[in-house]
Chain A
Amino acid sequence: LAKTTQPISMDSYEGQEVNITCSHNNIATNDYITWYQQFPSQGPRFIIQGYKTKVTNEVASLFIPADRKSSTLSLPRVSLSDTAVYYCLVVGLNNAGNMLTFGGGTRLMVKP
């Protein structure tokens, strides 16, 4: 599966919109982009997944350009409770049961 690259850390302030970009240059046709969130002392939690263009749910939006070589997770109006590590992953549609391959993630710190 495609390797992902994302910033190690980001700082933001409450109420701001946060955009975390991930690059996945070698993404394959049947691959999807998935983001997980992890709070301290908890396991990762699924946030959002997409294939192309834009996906939005109650937590975040995911923007994927036409070439799919990168993606951007957008968190609207962050609060202190959004401080966490965010992982960008590429998962294969046809690889049922395959493990998730996590990189180092992006540590988001939201300040008051």
Chain B
Amino acid sequence: GAGVSQTPSNKVTEKGKYVELRCDPISGHTALYWYRQSLGQGPEFLIYFQGTGAADDSGLPNDRFFAVRPEGSVSTLKIQRTERGDSAVYLCASSLPTSGTDTQYFGPGTRLTVL
């Protein structure tokens, strides 16, 4: 079946601009996660959705970052007033949230470059 998809695959923007990154999870997965990965490092957690609500947003670095999942499926990560330090690969993952050992399925990521 279809895996997690993310669009766009690459996004280049200028400092100060607004960007939106989209994630389509696996059908039926009610848990959705956003991570950010800088070059040479492991992914870092940003936010977790259970259904439509953000169950844990403790990883969002500041209030320029916001994410929504209005219908409990597709999610959009929004970054306002982008800064060069926001450049990274943004990964989305989904899972069945029955236990902590559930496998998270990752998308290919969106590579964001802020000039």
Contact = CB atoms under 8 A, between A and B. Distances in A.
B101 interface: yes
A101 interface: yes
A15 interface: no
B42 A103 contact: yes
B82 interface: no
Contacts of B48: 97-99
A32 B33 CA distance: 20
Interface in A77-109: 85, 87, 91-105
Given A93-B100, A98-B100, A43 B42 contact: no
A96 B40 CA distance: 28
Contact of A101 (B31, B45, B106): B45
B99 A99 contact: no
Nearest to A107: B40
**Which label, helix, strand, loop or mixed, suits the secondary structure of the B interface?**
loop
B100 A95 contact: yes
B12 interface: no
Interface in B24-40: 31, 33, 35, 40
A39 to B, nearest CB: 10
Interface centre among B31, B59, B99, B105 (most CB of A within 10 A): B99
A101 B42 CA distance: 9
A98 B55 CA distance: 9
Contacts of B93: 43, 100
A46 B41 contact: no
B9 to A, nearest CB: 9
7 contacts: A34-B101, A42-B108, A43-B4, A46-B103, A46-B104, A97-B50, A100-B45
Interface of A: 32, 34, 41-46, 49, 85, 87, 91-105
Given A91-B100, A94-B100, 19 more contacts: A32-B100, A43-B4, A43-B92, A43-B106, A43-B108, A44-B91, A46-B104, A87-B42, A92-B100, A93-B99, A94-B99, A95-B100, A96-B98, A97-B100, A98-B56, A99-B45, A100-B93, A102-B42, A102-B44
